[in-house]
Amino acid sequence: MLAAMVIAAVKLAVHCIFNNRYGYFRDEFNYLACGQHPAWGYVDHPPMIPLLARLSRFVLGDSLRAVRFLPALASCLLVVLAAMIARELGGRRFAVILCALAVALAPIYLSDGSLLGTNCLEPLFWMGCGYCAILAVKREDSRWWLAFGVAAGLGLEEKYSIAVLGAGMVAGLLLTPARRHLASKWMWLGGLAAALIIAPNIVWSLHHDWPFLQLVHNIKASGRDVTLSPFQYFLEQILLIGPVNTLLWMAGLAALLFWRPLRPCRLLGWCYLATFAAFAVVLKGKNYYLTPIYPMLLAAGAVVIEHGIDRRRQAWLKPAILAVVAAAGLVLAPIVVPVLPVDGFIAYMRRLPFAIPRSEHSHAAAVLPQHYADQFGWMEMVQVVNRAWQRLPPAERPGCGIFGQDYGQAGAVDFFGPRDGLPPALSGHQSYWLWGPRGYYGNCLIVIGDRRDRLEQLFDRVEYIGRSENPYALETNVSVFLCQGAKFGTLAALWPRLKKWD
């Protein structure tokens, strides 16, 4: 465990060094903005990450390293938790170190430690549930199901997808002798604990007509996301966890299903299969939705490989395997951690023997993969907005709002704008729509990212101010207009038509 902690500490140092290499990510603006509007829920996510983002911002400040310290820390704690799972499954020194190294260098967990978002804490909650399930069935101590419920409830306040893990665990219990735990009062108390923890968010969602379900429906109807077949979904799991690590987690899955020493934990193998089927077949989820489940499979794989090496007395394989896992992880690291200058990364990306997956159709034309492309262009956009603001006489500025087409544009204005004296932004996108027009009449608006001909139908005077340009940005050549003389009446009357939940 000491070695696992050292690996985690090195990982934390790497993230803290490189997490400020590019810029703020689109979704980070959303969470920071939501943190300024405390609530029990938001359109696209539960309240935990905005709350923690606000707390982190208060304590550590607004720098990139400060904003991303929470995900960096969570990613490193995952390494330690995965090593604990390996030890609980019967692993000794080599298995614990192999598991810790594999989790530390898996591309998706490196990515989780590099960006603030709901993905950064999700694997911790999933594996907290997994660890409690292992303790419950291995030690025949049903009280751990109460802890499982608490972890699941907190996970639901962070991201709803942990409900799929819960369903997978139930499937695993039903398909194995561990089903006897379903009759335990502790199992039901755990379910009650999870329900009580998520209850405030459920009440909020009910009051707002289930916005997350509306969002999911709209996304499916729009065809925004790339749809994968189950086989394609599996292939992308290989890239997200790493090709070498895939051999490890597949060995772990086989061990959980068929290896006698891990028979008490067989429900975890069935849980994985059920969860894979849910995301890949039923829900058609994005490729990374399943990734929080892999640390427990990597732990099981490390244990069975250690057992095989010790049985054959081929100790030389241990350092060789560790070296291969480390080398494979380091080769893929620049894809998800900005260790290279952007031009260097583009050259590196073009030499890769595979294409980096794009999860949305709109990402296909970007020079960079979306998780990098969406870190560029925001400051340039706000600078053009500020030019429009400066064109207004000081007496007219209090009545002029700034409208963005999405939470990235509006959130960038909210984050960078105050230093230039810009007011809070407006948008019809997701949670910004819930916050309304903020008292603006609408007779004067600085509009980001719209078309002149459309704006001329809404305003008497439309002045083109300029466009932001950044060759690396996903949103490039974003136009900014100064619009005056509303033809639509009041902004409050127009607001219901501006709702954009997709």
Domain boundaries, the chain: 2-124+203-343, 378-498
CA distance linking residue 479 with residue 454, whole number of Å: 13
Query: Looking at residue 130, what is its pLDDT?
Result: 97
Pairing of strands 401-404, 444-448: parallel
**0.85 exceeded by pTM:** yes
Q: How far apart are CA 491 and CA 433, in angstroms?
A: 12
As beta bridge partners, residue 486 has 459
- d(CA 470, CA 101) in angstroms, rounded, equals 37
Tell me the backbone φ, ψ of residue 427, rounded to 5 degrees.
-165, 155
Return the structure tokens found at 213.
């379900």
Which amino acid type is present at position 311?
R
Distance CA 106, CA 288 (A): 12
Q: How far apart are CA 99 and CA 300, in angstroms?
A: 8
**Per-residue pLDDT at 484:** 96
Please state, in angstroms and rounded to a whole number, the distance separating the CA atoms of residues 60 and 68.
Answer: 10
Side chain identity, residue 26:
R
Query: What pLDDT, on the 0 to 100 scale, is given for residue 182?
Result: 94
Q: Please report how many Cα atoms fall inside a 13 Å half-sphere around the Cα of residue 428, on the Cβ side.
A: 16
Contact 458, 483 (CB under 8 A): yes
Distance from chain centroid for Cα 370 = 13
Across-strand partners of 148?
A: none
> Nearest 5°: phi and psi at 166?
-60, -45
CB 86 within 8 A of CB 302: yes
DSSP 232-267: HHHHHHHHHH-HHHHHHHHHHHHHHHH-GGGGGGHH
DSSP state for residue 449 in the 8-state scheme: S
Residue that has been written with the tokens 């019967």 in this structure: 90
Residue 366: what pLDDT?
81
Q: Are strands 478-486 and 444-448 parallel, antiparallel or unpaired?
A: antiparallel
Backbone dihedral angles phi then psi of residue 451, each to the nearest 5 degrees:
-100, 145
What's the rounded Cα separation, in Å, for the pair 283 and 281?
A: 6
Tell me the residue type at 328: A
Largest CA distance in the chain: 83
Give the per-residue pLDDT at 443.
93
Query: Residue for token digits 């209850």?
Result: 199
Alpha-carbon span 159 to 151, nearest angstrom: 12
Task: Using alpha carbons only, give the angle 442, 447, 451 rounded to the nearest 5 degrees.
Answer: 120
Name the residue among 277, 286, 164 with its Cα closest to residue 224: 286
> Would strands 401-404 and 426-427 be described as parallel, antiparallel, or unpaired?
parallel
Residues of the chain with pLDDT under 50: none
